[in-house]
Structure 1
Amino acid sequence: MSTLQLNDEQRALAAAIRDFSRKECGTREQRAAWTNDFKDNHSPELYQRIADLGWVGVTVPAEYGGAGSSMLDMCVVVEECMRGGLPVVGIATTIIVAAAYERYGSAQQKKEMLGGIVGGAPESVAMSEPGAGSDVGSLSCRAVRDGDGWVVNGQKTWCSGAHYAKHILLVARTGRGATKHEGLTMFRVPTGTPGMEIRGIDTLGGREVNDIFFTDCRLPADAVVGTVDAGWSQLTTGLNVERLVLAAVLLGIAERAFDDVLAYVKQREQFGRPIGTFQALRHRIADLATELECCRLLTYHVAQRVDADPHRILPQEVSMAKLKVTETAKRVTLEGMQMMGGYGYASEYDMERHVRSALAGTIYGGSSEIQRDIIGKTLGL
């Protein structure tokens, strides 16, 4: 990790997470044990332990039990957890959800949700639908007023971690306005609520995402998070957090993949010497190291800009960070697999799992194409 932009406390935090990761997930056997032989990417037990250490609640205000730390601190925590191979991917969506409740939750919601998150409750978001992914304004899952509450009908898809989350932060259509983005509302839905069914989706990475079906699902009036019909503006103010979290996740995965392939090319011998000493591989390693340093500096820089003005939305900068880091992670993992040859493809090694994680990173949270389009618009195109 580059330490150019980290203070002593942040360096100590990174070192503590690295030490924890080495002790708990330093061997393949340990990682297999925590993940049901790599079938799961989130261990509730290990997640609870990092919550007890205060890492999950790093950005939650102190009044709710969190550390009240900066976005840069958050990036350090998420990056190091992923670099250390900790199967706690639920931390990403949980931090994103925490930011939404901190901004828009009622006093009671903040107390319950932020306190629960600090205590180790993982959370999930339900926004995408079969017919609406990048085009959020096309959402059709509907919440209709019924007495003093709401009734929800429709389907959500690609909901990360919904199968182990305590609540779902649902974005549903509650009305129509002058534009398609008007009339969206956020709701808090406890998992297990009658009328809500969560079904896993089989993917390249195993059980990571889910469909959620709502059939006459009744919610109380206090399920609304923020203001009715103002969900779109609430979503846009959360982009800084969402895309920085995802950049930190993929930065950590890319760093871990780089560490693994670097160790491999130093040890693997062919033609009488380590394969890393051949120029063809040495130069590729050098290029990847340079790209990773660029990603670190960009991510930290954007995090510091957000910390300097938390209420300012930085669409260009956060989209650049998400785009650059996720595309670099894809490159690092695919190059790592190529340099490791058959071993990079074998499930005996971690590289094939790194590849699967990195490929998905260029899609969720706004695909690379969407990030480029946003950046282009900020440049007046």
Structure 2
Amino acid sequence: MDLDFTDEQRAFTEALTDFAKREAGTRQLRDTLTGGGQHSHHQGLYQKMADLGWLGVSIPEDRGGAGGGMVDTCLFLEHTAYGMLPIGGFATSAIVAGAVQRFGSAAQQETVLGGVAAGRTYSIAMSEPEAGSDVANLSCRAVAGPDGSYVLNGQKTWCSNAHFADAILLVARTGGSPGDHDGLTMLLVPTDAAGLRISGIDTMGGREVNDLYFTDCTVPADAVVGAVDQGWWQLMAGLNLERLILAALMLGTARRTFDDTLAYVRERKQFGRPIGSFQVLRHRIADLATEIACCGLLVYRTAELVDRDPSRVLPRESSMVKLKTTEVAKEVALAGMQMMGGYGYATEYDMERHVRATLISTVYGGTSEIQRDIIGKTYGL
């Protein structure tokens, strides 16, 4: 793919870069925004970006957005990740917006799509203690009442951003038994709903994910997104979006990690010269740079395919881009820590944060093992 972006896209990324330098360009600024790295999202900063019209990059114009495509979304994700802007709520919000745009009612689209553009955040809940990679095994149940409302009971886990989201796109079982693909339904659940308890899970990355406990939590009939019992197939239709979002984020993180490493090996001296001048490190830098360049081509080639036909599901391409980019980002971060020695492990530098962010990227959104399995199946294996 020719990565010759339009003048408008280049101006957009330049504006994002300038904003990131101004708002989060130093370690001190980032620590202030994130509580020393404990929080992935700063709503005040997020609102500034909403006011600039940036959060609606892929939201249709009639819903308050800019009407951009997947290439534009990937540019936004890559450059905000590179700038280390703490807007962790955007990725899950964009995934929810995509599902609502494809399957939601006009009222849901107005609320959610307009909400994303205006700076509100959303979360999505699929995983359960016994249903991680095997999503079809979920058992959290939504039972329809005589008035059409649904009563929710069960547990979700590893739910990113639920603790500050306005609402959660819940995938619950409305029919069938655990293991069945049919019988799953998407419902929008406000985070302040009675009967919902959100409990944070302590992780290496600070406060990011949560357990959700539903106890006779009631939502109205119009909470259903799309068709009842068709949630699995609706999830499959969103694979392009979810996996590209995660890949674009890790592309930006990989680039930032590489640049931080490069700056260090150019300046750090041992045996009378910069350590980057030694062949062993110089060749490692060359290999990492090449891998990142390949990831960029893969991300934007896949994004271009999505923009050509947004209704087309790309299981092979979306799994490839997620697998390759997250694994490369992890490789770059671990190599960066190794090249920086003890300083790469110290919290004084950003490298240890890069390591934490990239390690988990090969797990969420479908592990690398699951992506490999999907790719293999597309070849008839």
- Is the counterpart of residue 58 in structure 1 residue 43 in structure 2? no
Q: 3-state DSSP class of the match of 1:153?
A: strand
- Is the counterpart of residue 201 in structure 1 residue 177 in structure 2? no
Contact 2:138 2:179 (C-alpha < 8 Å) held by counterparts: no
Q: Show the counterpart of 1:369.
A: 369
- Is the counterpart of residue 245 in structure 1 residue 236 in structure 2? no
Question: CA offsets, 1:264-309, max 9 Å, x none?
Answer: 1111111111111111111111100000000000000000001001
Contact 1:188 1:223 (C-alpha < 8 Å) held by counterparts: yes
Q: 3-state DSSP class of the match of 2:160?
A: coil
Mapping 1:6-21, distance limit 5 Å: 6-21=5-20
Contact 2:189 2:219 (C-alpha < 8 Å) held by counterparts: yes
The separation in 1 between residues aligned to 2:75 and 2:135, in whole angstroms, is 30
Distance of aligned partners of 1:32 and 1:179 in 2 relative to their CA distance in 1, 3 Å threshold = closer
Structure 1 alignment gaps of length 5 or more: none
The separation in 1 between residues aligned to 2:49 and 2:255, in whole angstroms, is 20
Amino acid paired to 1:191? T
Q: Show the counterpart of 1:85.
A: 84
Amino acid paired to 1:164? F
The separation in 2 between residues aligned to 1:282 and 1:55, in whole angstroms, is 38
Q: Show the counterpart of 1:130.
A: 129
The separation in 2 between residues aligned to 1:367 and 1:56, in whole angstroms, is 27
Contact 1:171 1:186 (C-alpha < 8 Å) held by counterparts: yes
Q: 3-state DSSP class of the match of 1:159?
A: strand
The separation in 2 between residues aligned to 1:186 and 1:345, in whole angstroms, is 42
Q: Show the counterpart of 2:351.
A: 351
Amino acid paired to 2:139? S
The separation in 2 between residues aligned to 1:276 and 1:98, in whole angstroms, is 44
Amino acid paired to 2:285? I
Aligned CA-pair RMSD? 1.3
Q: Show the counterpart of 1:28.
A: 27
The separation in 2 between residues aligned to 1:341 and 1:51, in whole angstroms, is 39
Residue range with higher mean Cα deviation, 2-11 or 186-195: 2-11
1:177 CA drift (Å): 7.6
Q: Show the counterpart of 1:173.
A: 173
Amino acid paired to 2:46? Y
1:9 CA drift (Å): 1.2
Residue range with higher mean Cα deviation, 34-43 or 314-323: 34-43
The separation in 2 between residues aligned to 1:133 and 1:326, in whole angstroms, is 19
Instruction: Give me the identity figure in percent.
Output: 62
Q: Show the counterpart of 2:279.
A: 279
1:5 CA drift (Å): 3.7
Q: 3-state DSSP class of the match of 1:170?
A: strand
Distance of aligned partners of 1:142 and 1:289 in 2 relative to their CA distance in 1, 3 Å threshold = same
Contact 1:250 1:358 (C-alpha < 8 Å) held by counterparts: yes
Amino acid paired to 1:354? H
Q: Show the counterpart of 1:46.
A: 45
Distance of aligned partners of 1:141 and 1:271 in 2 relative to their CA distance in 1, 3 Å threshold = same
Residue range with higher mean Cα deviation, 168-177 or 117-126: 168-177
Distance of aligned partners of 1:169 and 1:178 in 2 relative to their CA distance in 1, 3 Å threshold = closer
Question: CA offsets, 1:209-264, max 9 Å, x none?
Answer: 00000000011111111110010110000001000000001111111111111111
The separation in 2 between residues aligned to 1:178 and 1:80, in whole angstroms, is 40
Q: 3-state DSSP class of the match of 1:211?
A: strand
1:71 CA drift (Å): 0.1
The separation in 2 between residues aligned to 1:336 and 1:45, in whole angstroms, is 32
Question: CA offsets, 1:44-68, max 9 Å, x none?
Answer: 1111111222221111100010011
Q: 3-state DSSP class of the match of 2:158?
A: coil
The separation in 2 between residues aligned to 1:326 and 1:37, in whole angstroms, is 25
Contact 1:134 1:370 (C-alpha < 8 Å) held by counterparts: yes
Amino acid paired to 1:233? W
Distance of aligned partners of 1:178 and 1:48 in 2 relative to their CA distance in 1, 3 Å threshold = closer
The runs of at least 4 consecutive aligned structure 1 residues that moved more than 2 Å come to 2-5
Q: Show the counterpart of 1:310.
A: 310
- Is the counterpart of residue 160 in structure 1 residue 160 in structure 2? yes
Q: Show the counterpart of 1:320.
A: 320
Question: CA offsets, 1:117-175, max 9 Å, x none?
Answer: 11000110010000001111101000001122010000000001111111000000000
1:112 CA drift (Å): 1.0
Q: 3-state DSSP class of the match of 2:198?
A: strand
Amino acid paired to 1:350? D
The separation in 1 between residues aligned to 2:177 and 2:153, in whole angstroms, is 20
1:13 CA drift (Å): 1.0
The separation in 2 between residues aligned to 1:177 and 1:42, in whole angstroms, is 37
Distance of aligned partners of 1:194 and 1:177 in 2 relative to their CA distance in 1, 3 Å threshold = closer
Contact 2:137 2:178 (C-alpha < 8 Å) held by counterparts: no
Contact 1:5 1:300 (C-alpha < 8 Å) held by counterparts: no
The separation in 2 between residues aligned to 1:322 and 1:172, in whole angstroms, is 25
The separation in 1 between residues aligned to 2:166 and 2:199, in whole angstroms, is 15
Question: CA offsets, 1:337-365, max 9 Å, x none?
Answer: 00001110000100000000000000000
Amino acid paired to 1:94? S
Residue range with higher mean Cα deviation, 157-166 or 34-43: 34-43
The separation in 1 between residues aligned to 2:198 and 2:106, in whole angstroms, is 29
Q: 3-state DSSP class of the match of 2:159?
A: coil
Q: 3-state DSSP class of the match of 2:41?
A: coil
1:14 CA drift (Å): 1.0
Mapping 1:248-259, distance limit 5 Å: 248-259=248-259
Q: Show the counterpart of 1:231.
A: 231
Distance of aligned partners of 1:134 and 1:49 in 2 relative to their CA distance in 1, 3 Å threshold = same
